[in-house]
Structure 1
Amino acid sequence: MTATQDSLPDTSTIRNPATGAVAGSVRWTDPADIPRIAAGLRKAQKEWEARGAQGRARVLARYAVWLGDHRAEIESLLIKETGKSATDAAQEVPLLIMIAAYYIKTMEKALAPERRPAALPFLAIKRVEVHYRPRPLVGIIAPWNYPVANALMDAIAALAAGCAVLLKPSERTPLTAELLLRGWQDCGAPEVLALTQGAREVSEAVIDNSDFVQFTGSCATGAKVMERAARTLTPVSLELGGKDPMLVLDDADVDLAAHAAVWGAFFNAGQTCVSVERVYVLESVYDRFVDAVVRDVKNLKIGAGDGNDFGAMIDETQLAVTERHVADAKEKGARVLTGGERTAGAGTFYPPTVLVDVDHSMLCMTEETFGPTLPIMKVSTVGEAVRLANDSPYGLSAAVFSKNIQRAKDVAVELDCGAVNVNDVISNLMCTTAPMGGWKTSGMGARFGGAEGLRKYCRQEAVVAPRTNVGAGGNYYNNSQRALKRMNTMMTKLALRGPRRKAK
């Protein structure tokens, strides 16, 4: 939601940021057409919900197979559209297939009516059930950094829940979404997945016409999405930015930690919401860790496509943020051990940049860079590392490295964030049984989370039915005042049994 719809022509040419070559073109959606598109999706959703979990699972299974069969085609277009390396592009489709496989296996049980016990003995005459009814239309506003994974990881769950989905990919990376929609159609799936293309006005129309909005992107834009959705009291789930810390304790496997830091910081050219954006290292292992990081970085191959580890940044705007953060760090006394200046020649390449002698006066330690920087700070104690890690408005994820797993877990629960990886980075993204959500300005709600990953797209409906008519209507107006008083006295005494025992 950074550009206006008026600034976009009816048809746009998308260029590869690594080469400047034309990757393809796309036709933008007229925002005025979105209510009509939404109405068609709502109509189709009724039949989709009526298929039940098993019927929907069969369609999703066909789609998962299609994704696997067309993986090479998807990744080729992804590289053209984003300038990714082949290493980075290869991660997205397998993640989607894994997510689909998980929900196909679990969705029937997760969405089945859930029986709840009576709260108190005198309510045992009632049978309580909670039904999970899909929200008719889920709007998904996806970002540019993972155009395939971030578009569909939420769409698959919403479709599994029985919703229709209106997807709006980033205007920077609209091409792969067209291919993903074609795959859905090729599988013979019903018309419960539709695509809109455009910028701010299209995003606003998607929000206005949806029953639930899943947004992934920056904190500033997330706030705008939430404000827009509040006008219609539309619930939202926001997965926003991060400044994810990594803590390397004095008993860590230094080589493992260094390998993880390099991959976690520079995967996808650092354009990952859960990337390693700052590292705090205990002083006893600091020098060894820095040396190992520099060694690993020097082995990386820079370039888009096959044979490379590290691709281009999405555009000049994003590259400028990295340049600003590095310049600020250097001005305030940081040393650059690798990289530090954009790569000469064509393309928006900025090399992996390792910074030391950093502190919290520098933007590279406090603002989200979303680029290929790895600032490393020496600390004296674990307590100092925890304090500095928590000294941030962000709270998405973190990592702790120690050979003592219990020690690492004890540190993990002191960190103010939605997920912590022990002796690994980013791996929580693959744990679909656990929630992925941010604290503080890093978002609200969560994606994944086992059954909750499906139920978030549902409305809960409580159905309370009698087991017997005995006791029904005890508090109706047609009863005597004496009977009502007797009943309320009995209810109070029974309800107080537990609290009285607990209060002793």
Structure 2
Amino acid sequence: MLTPFVNEPFTNFQDENNRKAMKLALTKVKNSFGHTYPLYIGSEKIYTKTTTPSINPGKVSETIGYMSSANRELAEKAMQKALDTFETWKKVSPEERASYLFKAANLMRERKHEFSSLLVFEAGKNWAEADADTAEAIDFLEFYAREMIRLDRINETLPPTQIPTEKSQLRYIPLGVGIVIPPWNFPLAICVGMTSAAIVSGNTVLLKPASPTSIIAYQFVSLMKEVGLPPGVINFIPGNPNEIGDFLTAHPKTRFISFTGSKQVGLHINKLAANTAKNQIWIKRVIAEMGGKDGIIVDETADLDQAAQQIVASAFGFQGQKCSAGSRAILVDSIYDQVVSKILDLTKTFTIGLPEENHPIGPVIDQKAYDKILSYIEIGKQEGSLLLGGSTASGDGFYIQPTIFGEVDQEARIMQEEIFGPVLAITRATDWQEAIQIYNHTEYGLTGSFFSKDEHRIQQAQEQMHCGNLYINRKCTGALVGVHPFGGFNMSGTDSKAGGYDYLLLFTQAKSISRQIS
């Protein structure tokens, strides 16, 4: 009998013992800086001449390590290994496949602070954000292991309708070899979730991590090897996306692509995957989560203090580098000035600095993101009233002040385009109904929040706000595995609900079998 799924608790860093444990882990991880890390193809470790440095975004003079880089020849080698391994891995029972995930979850739980510390250094997360990332990774391992066992028992719990002359059953079988492309902003949780869902379903994968956070992905792969996962189930091939990304997406033996990242890259993958390569015998499946331009509505009946706190948390948590980040605040006219004042007061209390020192605001991920965000801030100065921030912050890293613009028109670029940084645009609405219209006026549809005490309005918001994850009277970030299945509408992706009961169906195909009874 499986134990019920329970979310991994977050660490209370107000507890002095937990603070000491985290500091020890930070020191241990820091002492490991400077190593060169290999690819994994099957059981083979491969160090390449070409490497990519992993830089601490909070202290760019600090190099965490150097990651080997796959070329097309190595990518093809990994594909062949994955194809070979699939023939045996698909025959392993779901219970046994799930057992590797359970073992990995237990080990990650034991080393939670070490994984979180690497997230602090490589991704620029403060302690709480890093701890939540690691907890979510553990949750995905636990949840998807149970889900695969549940699907394997579907004929017991939800059998097909039976007729007197036949015995019918349904089996969920794996797809084949998949390409897993996780993002840098949740480089442990989403990497673990995408990969574990694919392999527990019986597929083999080529894991191509995001370049800025490849070492945390390597540590996850190493953990899976430590728990005894057969070689070739996960093939770890970091590399230049321009060299191997399109090559693998277009490969005739690629059965599915699981991607989380920008809209532009997601659409490119979807278009490339739609083309039929020579000797390809299936339609490739694309599972994509592509970002958002998420908004929070506040009406005049709402708890304004709570709303302001949740707007600030949604906008500036992890420097706004979340696809779920609340980068738009839509305030009913009668309470606009009050809420803006509260938002400004709360944001002014933030300190900016090294994630290692646990400042609320840390760096953005790299130079490319830094330049992009600053360019949007300059655009914002032409489109709205700069209320706070608007410039860089001091430090040996990619630091940007939390920036707030008021009186922004709904058509403005900073209200329409995903910035992926610490930038909040605020606009007025005449009433709650217009606020919903403004919220829906975007090509995205990932997360949203509605703050109100009026039950009729809440019911209308639940029906009318078009997004995959809608929250009432709480922030629009912080989805929990199993509690808030996560995925968006429109240009936010394929609405593949990560951490939900139908997610593994995306990595399987249902085979109906009926046998005539004599």
* TM-score normalized with structure 1 length: 0.85
Question: Is 2:367 the partner of 1:316?
Answer: yes
CA distance in 2, matches of 1:58, 1:466: 35
Deviation at 1:134, TM superposition (A): 1.0
Which residue of structure 2 lines up, in the alignment, with residue 335 of structure 1?
385
Question: Is 2:55 the partner of 1:15?
Answer: yes
Question: Is 2:217 the partner of 1:169?
Answer: no
Which residue of structure 1 lines up, in the alignment, with residue 25 of structure 2?
none
Which residue of structure 2 lines up, in the alignment, with residue 62 of structure 1?
103
- Aligned partner of residue 211 in structure 1, secondary structure: strand
Kindly provide the CA deviation profile for residues 426-452 of structure 1, in whole angstroms up to 9, marking residues without a partner as x. 456214365422222111140326331
Alpha carbons of 1:412 and 1:37: their partners in 2 closer, same or farther (altered >3 Å)? same
Quick one: which of 174, 183, 189 aligns to 1:143? Answer: 183
Which residue of structure 1 lines up, in the alignment, with residue 410 of structure 2?
360
Which residue of structure 1 lines up, in the alignment, with residue 42 of structure 2?
none
Quick one: which of 117, 131, 144 aligns to 1:76? Answer: 117
Greater Cα shift, 384-393 or 35-44: 35-44
CA distance in 1, matches of 2:100, 2:123: 29
CA distance in 2, matches of 1:111, 1:451: 13
Aligned partners of 1:111 and 1:161 also within 8 Å: no
Question: Is 2:128 the partner of 1:87?
Answer: yes
Q: How does 1:76-475 map to 2 (within 5 A)?
A: 76-114=117-155, 115-117=159-161, 125-191=165-231, 192-199=233-240, 200-207=242-249, 208=251, 209-232=253-276, 233-303=283-353, 304-332=355-383, 334-404=384-454, 407-426=457-476, 429-432=479-482, 435-448=485-498, 450-468=500-518
- Aligned partner of residue 78 in structure 2, secondary structure: helix
Kindly provide the CA deviation profile for residues 176-213 of structure 1, in whole angstroms up to 9, marking residues without a partner as x. 11111111111122221121111222222332242111
Deviation at 1:268, TM superposition (A): 1.2
CA distance in 2, matches of 1:399, 1:340: 25
Deviation at 1:335, TM superposition (A): 2.0
- Aligned partner of residue 213 in structure 2, secondary structure: coil
CA distance in 1, matches of 2:49, 2:466: 44
Higher Cα Rg, which structure = 1
Deviation at 1:124, TM superposition (A): 5.6
Deviation at 1:405, TM superposition (A): 5.2
> Structure 2 counterpart of 1:362, which letter?
A
Aligned partners of 2:295 and 2:449 also within 8 Å: yes
Deviation at 1:370, TM superposition (A): 0.6
- Aligned partner of residue 145 in structure 1, secondary structure: coil
> Structure 1 counterpart of 2:285, which letter?
P
Aligned partners of 1:252 and 1:402 also within 8 Å: yes
Q: Point out where structure 2 has 5 or more consecutive residues left out of the alignment.
A: 1-47, 277-282
CA distance in 2, matches of 1:285, 1:110: 49
Aligned partners of 1:341 and 1:350 also within 8 Å: yes
RMSD: 2.1
> Structure 2 counterpart of 1:64, which letter?
A
State the aligned residue count: 456
Alpha carbons of 1:105 and 1:427: their partners in 2 closer, same or farther (altered >3 Å)? farther
> Structure 2 counterpart of 1:323, which letter?
L
CA distance in 2, matches of 1:219, 1:162: 29
Deviation at 1:360, TM superposition (A): 2.2
Greater Cα shift, 441-450 or 366-375: 441-450
Q: Point out where structure 1 has 5 or more consecutive residues left out of the alignment.
A: 1-7, 469-504
* TM-score normalized with structure 2 length: 0.83
Deviation at 1:46, TM superposition (A): 3.8
CA distance in 2, matches of 1:41, 1:68: 28
> Structure 2 counterpart of 1:201, which letter?
E
Aligned partners of 1:421 and 1:428 also within 8 Å: no
Which residue of structure 2 lines up, in the alignment, with residue 483 of structure 1?
none
Deviation at 1:116, TM superposition (A): 2.1
CA distance in 2, matches of 1:462, 1:380: 54
Deviation at 1:94, TM superposition (A): 0.3
CA distance in 2, matches of 1:126, 1:382: 57
Which residue of structure 1 lines up, in the alignment, with residue 8 of structure 2?
none
CA distance in 1, matches of 2:332, 2:140: 37
Percent of aligned pairs with the same residue?
A: 26
CA distance in 2, matches of 1:405, 1:95: 32
